[in-house]
């Protein structure tokens, strides 16, 4: 009775082996080779070269420069989140100035909760959509006080539940505030440049689509670096309108380059 069962189990093992062993490599990888863009490593290295001087607005006034690094960790994390909320649809210079004004008032969960809406609006003006941001900041700060003891959540899933916090902000908050890489932070610069370089298998319409597409092939150890690299590159060279292709080291290997 035992003997007839042996060949059946053996056949099942063979079928599994055939299904999962491509005949090459160690058998641990999927059958199909992972898609990756043409020339991407060389393009990335050239972008690193162009960003070597670290003199773009994001380097000097980006969110990572907006918080008080001498503050207690919980306060620092709150300031990072607020800077990210202010930065949406706003130039780094404007966000940085608004954060300086807030910090002069003592920027903590409690000071913001004690501040009336009119005062908060006057301080953060002229950031983009400042009236909406006043509302979101007060709502989010109240939630942080009630639910998180004044700290910010430590997962992307919880961060995006906060009023006024989107996926890009959540991933950057994880990077900067928690020193944790949960995904790629994709803003308009990263979205635009990824499509121009064809770092997405097919054109994407929204930053979240781009994030998913990039995370599918880009090695995880590059996820944190890619936002900083591409944002500064987009601010200085690969501009939204009239990109400076003649100054770009990738001109000869960029699918979107305007070649003279």
Q: How far is CA 23 from CA 11, 19, 149, 246, in A?
A: 18, 10, 55, 46
Reported as a single tens digit per residue, the pLDDT across 203-232 is 999 999 999 999 999 999 999 999 999 999
Label residue 254 by pLDDT band (50, 70, 90): very high
- Please report whether residue 224 resides in a domain: yes
**Which domain-ending residue is among 167, 182, 197?**
182
Domain limits at 193?
37-53+183-259
Is residue 153, in this structure, part of any structural domain at all? yes
Tell me whether residue 25 is in a domain: no
pTM exceeds 0.75:
yes
8 A C-beta contact, residue 232 and residue 54 = yes
**Spatial CB neighbours of 259, under 8 Å, sequence gap ≥ 6:** 245, 251, 252
Question: What are the pLDDT digits (tens) for 48-92?
Answer: 999 999 999 999 999 999 999 999 999 999 999 999 999 999 999
Whether residue 195 is predicted with pLDDT greater than 60 in this model: the reply is yes
Instruction: Determine what percent of the chain is predicted with pLDDT higher than 90.
Output: 86
Claim to verify: residue 164 and residue 198 sit in the same structural domain: no
168 is catalytic: yes
160, 182, 204 - which closes a domain: 182
Residue 11 lies in a domain: no
**Total domain count for the chain?**
2
155-174 pLDDT, tens digit per residue, is: 999 999 999 999 999 999 99
Domain end: 166, 182, 198, which one?
Answer: 182
Whether residue 141 sits in one domain with residue 71: yes
Residues 41 and 91 in one domain: no
Residue 9 lies in a domain: no
Same domain flag for 190 and 234:
yes
Asked whether the bond before 239 is cis by omega within 30 degrees of 0, the reply is no
Query: Does one domain contain both 223 and 158?
Result: no
User: Domain containing 43 — which CATH number?
Assistant: 1.10.1670.10
Task: Note whether residue 238 is domain-resident.
Answer: yes
- Per the residue annotation, which of 14, 168, 201, 224 is the catalytic one? 168
């Amino acid at each position: 009775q035992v003997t007839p069962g042996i060949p059946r189990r053996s056949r099942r093992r063979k079928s599994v082996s055939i299904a999962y062993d491509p005949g090459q490599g160690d058998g641990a990888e999927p059958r199909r080779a992972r898609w990756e863009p043409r020339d991407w490593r060389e393009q990335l290295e050239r972008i690193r070269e162009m960003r070597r001087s670290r003199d773009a607005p994001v380097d000097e006034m980006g969110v990572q420069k907006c918080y008080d690094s001498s503050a207690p960790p919980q306060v620092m994390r709150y300031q990072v989140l607020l800077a990210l909320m202010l930065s949406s649809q706003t130039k780094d210079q404007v966000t940085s100035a608004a954060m300086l004004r807030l910090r002069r008032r003592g920027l903590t969960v409690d000071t913001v909760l004690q501040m009336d809406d009119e005062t908060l609006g006057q301080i953060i003006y002229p950031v983009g959509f400042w009236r909406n941001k006043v509302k979101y900041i007060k709502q989010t700060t109240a939630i942080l006080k009630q639910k998180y003891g004044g700290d910010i959540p430590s997962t992307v899933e919880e961060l995006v539940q906060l009023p006024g916090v989107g996926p890009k902000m959540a991933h950057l908050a994880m990077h900067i505030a928690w020193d944790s890489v949960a995904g790629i932070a994709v803003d308009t610069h990263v979205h635009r440049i990824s499509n121009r370089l064809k770092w997405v298998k097919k054109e994407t319409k929204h930053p979240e689509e781009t994030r998913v597409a990039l995370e599918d092939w880009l090695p995880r150890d590059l996820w944190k670096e890619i936002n900083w690299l591409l944002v500064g590159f987009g601010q200085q060279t690969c501009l939204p309108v009239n990109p400076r292709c003649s100054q770009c080291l990738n001109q000869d290997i960029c699918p979107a380059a305007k070649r003279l």
